[in-house]
Structure 1
């Protein structure tokens, strides 16, 4: 079996470093938290723990809940060392998978009504996400939350998903106003060249320039 680990492998190791889980519990935790940063992990949840066990990075323990058997996975000492080595290396930037925005990108092949519908879908997503963010924050402020010992890291990443939802909500309101002025055929819309020039004139550091 190949020793090469994927980012999903490390994501599951990270969860196992928090506490032992069954694959069902891992799937729940991924939907609760990792979906914001690594949604692809969910598709590997039922095979990856077994692979990590075969590699000696996790171990499986058979248990019974009443008459129902279950397997609980926990991280090994070697798994913790492997996770620590991965965490010590800077990670890559985000890769955005955003279907509604992709449809907005091809606006000239649609109708203005279709474009507005996709912008509205983005706004609704942002509102739902912020409702989740508020509920999650209240879980910790009012009840202590399931992992209070991890709160410093949770707040860092929680701020990210909250700011992301706020940004998309703000963008969708602006975009709806802009597209609301378009003709029925988006291909005939007048581009906002002043906005393009304003972006082009922004000051950036050399490291931010392509090839910098």
Structure 2
């Protein structure tokens, strides 16, 4: 089965070029394009691609960071690969926290893009080499400053929110009602949380939340 892709970029020529490249791959299929983050969000919910290729800057419309945050909350099962012209270190951590599965410079060779898409589709994350260096450098700086590096974790804000509610004993339906989302969305978030934390049961999640001081019972 082909990897279903949605391309979000404010330049029509970029959308056309990427579509041509990706549609020529035997295992890829571009099912839609968008000119800004808002359109990408709407089309992703409508078309349900496997991966969204999201440009970081799309003036004057919604940017890729904002769209990624909203989309991962609404449809956590959709993976997002960020594409950018610049090595925006200041955005890297925010993008990862927002739930992006990959980060690639537009100047990268075509093969890097294809590899990134296939890597993400396999369930792994993909970072451009320069981004990886930035990530490691910041991590080491945090360690040197004595910060609790565990606080910079792989869970998105919404996943952390759901983890706390799970640990407090709320059922999936109750969490869905509390956050005004569907039960299916909660279940998808829960599956992602367990996958990222390498856990399989609710008690494990509760112990993790307690250990990290995430529970604040009134």
Give the TM-score taking structure 2 as reference length: 0.30
Greater strand fraction, Structure 1 or Structure 2: 2
Q: Larger Cα Rg: Structure 1 or Structure 2?
A: 1
| Bigger fraction of residues in helix | 1
Q: TM-score, normalised by structure 1?
A: 0.31
